[in-house]
Structure 1
Amino acid sequence: MSNRNSNNIPLTEIVNNAHKIAKIGIFQFLVKESQIYWNDVMKEINEVQPDFKPTPENIFSFFPNKKTKQYIEHTHEKAIKEGSSFSYDHEIITAKGNTKHIWTFGQPVFKNGVLIKIFGTSIDITERKKSELELVNKNKLLNFAEQMTNIAYWDWDTVINEEIWSDNLYKIVNRKKGGKLTYETYLEYVHPNDKDYVIEQITSAFENKVFPSFSHRIIVNTSEIKIIHLMGEVICNPDGDVIRMLGTCQDITEIKNKELELLQKNQQLSLAEEIAQIGYWEWNPNTDSFIWSDNLYRIFGFEIGLEMSLELLTTRIHPNDQEKIERITNELFKTKIFKKFSYRIIPPEGHIKTLEVVGQIVCDEKGEIIKFTGVTKDITDYILKEKKILETNEHLEQATQKLTARNKQLAEFNHITSHNLRSPVSNLNALLGMYKDPTYEHLKEELFQKFEIVVDHLTLTLNTLVESLKVKHEANKSIQQLSFDETLNKTKEILAAEIIQTNANIKCNFTDAPKIVYNQIYLESIFLNLLGNAMKYKSKDRAPEIEIKSKEVNGRVQLSFKDNGIGIDLKQHGDKLFGLNKVFHRHPDAKGVGLFLTKAQIEAMGGSISAQSKVNEGSTFTVTLN
């Protein structure tokens, strides 16, 4: 076979085939002829046609820039001058526009001291360059990752006790590179209180052939303490003897400090939650899973850590608020807007609590709800205190109203006393003077009669004022629940004669407010006076039409007495309407006492009375009962 190859295949063909298999391009430059030769591989590398003929002019079109051309020319000139070989790698731009990395080796050939040719080879190292670049980039990324995560790598040959550290491990322990590294070198940095523990862990790795994951402290710069976490692998020879350990070393000082800080903040937060009576929660409606802070468990009276569900939570909600919670939940899913709300719960101890909830809704990129998060606050004490404050304010307001009314009544009483008593007393003094004067001897009998009339008026005024004082003093005595229908029927019975004589038609509607807790004597007096006046001051042209209604206004009962009588000119008499001995009609029974006492009774109970009236049309008296 060897003879057949040597006889039948030319040597040049064998060489060419070898170059093709090895992908080695061959070039040759004949100086005298100024001719360049490329083998087929060289043409393939430059991606030219098989019939391409390289020349000293066109080969430089494959070099991408001026610097590359200058570098190659300079290298060739130096090799020719010194008669030495040359090699370099460079970029080319192929005939198809592709960039390639080429390694070129060349040798100038001299004859009799004259350069006759330059012979050389070129190899396409593009893929190798890519691999080298990728490896460099990976090493950069690895170094960057080490620095970002504070992780370093180590390799310990346990047979010769020699270690290799990565650059970042030197940085962690703040050691300059250089010198031999051993196991004892690392121990120099271990905190004295942790040294026995580290030796114990390494001994365990030798014995168990498994490297334990553990943390310990080191001291750098003589005083700075760092916390290090070690992980590794134990490598043994076929006999099972440990020959090598390698692994990672991570500086977790900052992580541990943050963990400690987070732990302290969580403890502070838990304390703050407990003091403020608040609790944090998260709810994933898709899995019905909850995350609760410890204090929220305390608020609801659940065991801390108990797996929570919506069904379990509902067992604590006040029965009267469960429908409300269902409605709010449906609204949250519909609007995806979380509005603050409150509801009541009944913990195991049985005391009803009022809770206030604020939160937010978290959605994914499609707008679907992922979870609800928020804070629940126990506002029971706040509600109770607010209620007490409102009650106190209400009592103060009522006391103020009563005091104001009393002051007004005292002013009115003072005015009435000074006005209504002065006139009859002055009249008595005048009559007494006349009675003593001999000039009026013949009028003594007539003067005595007038004495009786004035004394009667004075007695009436005094009795009315005494009754008024009595009303103010005994206002809140004998309070009981009264029926308006029963009170009206009793009044009708008392005024039966007047109703028949006047042919009065009395209508009533007590549907909206049929009853009231009030002083019975005062309520009957109010009905008697207002109903009696409606018939007393009737129109001569028509029978009395009287309508009595009750209704609730702002938590108070309001009565209205409407009639079609002769009415009152309020522009002229409005400010005197409820005054003592004030009359506005020429009626023989008008004495100006009824409305005065009625107003006194109503105000003594904390109420009020007002009137609307038109002459010859009728009047409406509105009584607000407290």
Structure 2
Amino acid sequence: MSGDIISGKHREVAYWSWEVSTGKIKLGKAFSDFFGCKPGDFPKTYKESAPFFSKEDIGQLKETFQAHAGSHGETDFHCVTSHHSVDGEQTFNLQWRGEVIQWDENGEPLLMIGETTKTAQPEPGKVTWRQKAVLFQQMMEYIPDSIYFKDRQSRFLAINKACAEKFGLNSPEEAIGKTDFDFFDDSHAKQARQDEKQVMQTENPIVHKVEKEVTSDNASKERWASTTKLPLYDNEGQVIGTFGITSDITKQKNTEEELQRNDAMISKLSEQVPGFFYLYHYVSKSKSYCPFASHGIRDVCELHPEDVSESIDPIIDRIHKDDVERVKESIFESIKTLKNWKIDFRVNLPNKGLRWLRGKAKPEKQPDGSVMGYGYITDITEEKEIYRINVRLKRQFQAIFDSVPNLIFVKDLQGKYLMANNAFAEFFGYEPENMIGKKDTDFGISEEKAQRFLEADKKVIKNNEPFFIPEDKTKHPDGTDVWHQTIKVPFQHTESNNPAVLSIVTDITQRKKKEAQLSNSLDIIGEQNKRLMNFAHIVSHNLRNHAGSISMVLELFAMEESEEEKKTLLEQLQKAAKRLNETITDLNEIIDEQYKNIHDEKKVSLGEFIDRTKQILTSDIDAHKVTFEENIPETLTFKYNPAYLESILLNLLSNAIKYRHPDRNPVIKIHAYTKGDKVHLDITDNGLGIDLEKHGDKLFGMYKTFHQNENSKGIGLFITKNQIESMGGSIEAESEPGKGTTFKLVLN
């Protein structure tokens, strides 16, 4: 069949080529016939071809080509696209086949050729064999009834997914070659085999046979089924087996049995319920009676069943005079329209006095033209009293509801407002009644926030417990920010009797403002304390370094006999005193500007500050023969706190000298560079090093020392880290015991 279609009038072929590297395409003349246009209208490049394809088809072609090229031709290039003719009157498919015939030295495709076959899409209403096969496969996959095919020995040839699940199999294929004896007890399997023999011999189907099924692995579990079996023919019309469909009717059978039991129970229950069942027969306006009334009529109407067996007048006589005409009219209207009868009315009883009753009935037209009604009447006096009390409480609740300043509202589980008090309506500029039925998004609340509120409401109903939202910022219609605190509780909407959520919202804007003021005050106090402590550390640490340097020069001066050397030492002493004076000047500036922001920086030159630091440490540098290797751009300048920068450099360079290795002269490498808007500074020494696995978490702690140096105070690195981070930068360390340490600084 498919070969006839391909070779017939529905098949047309066109040829094409594509220079992959340039994107040029050449299309055969037949393409213009396909689309009903001129050859000149066709694209000359791959990019120009987009209007002739859908987005999905372009993606499919691209994916197919990539698979073909990626496998170097091992994967076939074959796909189908859908198109319309230029005039829009014809719809057709194009099958694309091709291959890359030329590759470059790197294995990339250069030239591809192929053919395209046009096939008409099936006419509406006609189903192809392929479609039939797909439909059959879907039927086998999704129909919930068991479908099966058997050979002449009643062995399964195929079953559907539902049948496999019924047999407890992982897949339908597991049943092939097996029989009913593998799945059912012998009695059922034997009967099934007899039925299938009969179908094959007579070629007459068995339709909707109700039978009990008992599986072989669980004899106590019974199922009821309705089975239809038919003969299975081959292409020559010979019977080669059977096929059938079995529906599980266990629930139906159970329901039928349940109904039978219920019928027996109704007559007993009618004597116990707080009302009475009745059968009302309307013949004419002058003749109507109740051929049946349960014993409950004695309590509800203070009548006996036989009192109404010939006429309903005894009931009518007990109806309140203000309700009697309304009741009669409702009865006649139900009889006339055959619509269900339902009404609440009052009666005056000899013993109980005034009572409320509710009557219901379903009318049915009889063959003789009369009407039979099947109904029930019950006493609802207590219900009416509760309703009256509820109405009074509702009025009281509404008065409170509308007088409190809190925003109070009720929403259902679809997010629609069922109730809203005056305060809530005024917040959004609405009347309360105009908010009913609307959602949060109708009042300018974002979709994301509205969905969050809805999820919270659903959680309240699911858990049946209150939900507290401590704070939430809402945009007032006038544009100002308002802070709210919300409690949500489960609520039963009396009108719909559906679950809902009651929300009580309190304005906490003033509290939030006071909290913000308090937080700001604490931040200011904390910042002042931080600056004070930092300043104290700077004074202590920096002045101690200068004092130590001056003290060392004086000691050397006292020991030196050479006038030339004394002169040199005096010059060093003058420089140290100058550096001390500059440090004191910087510290005075910090004191003068202690209430200003710490980021009031000055433009500094890193190279100059390193030279100044080396001058401060001249005595130590000369005494310990320290060598510097510097890689600092001459033009590197940036804004920074000068006192902080001097303190940072002084700490790191003095530490590199102080913790030098005893077996070698100190070598300090300084490398600086910029990256983005950051200045990076690496300082490396060949000193003692630090065991970071042991002390890494304490490296920058206050009063933490890691070497037996009597001059170590343990605050230098603590100060340095705080100074760098307060300026928005960072510091890290890399170290290996016995080899040295590198400090990596990012100066913001």
Could you say which TM-score interval applies, normalised by the shorter chain?
A: 0.3 to 0.5
TM-score by length of 1: 0.38
Larger relative CO (CA 8 A, sep 6+): 1 or 2? 1
TM-score by length of 2: 0.33
Q: Which structure has the larger Rg?
A: 1
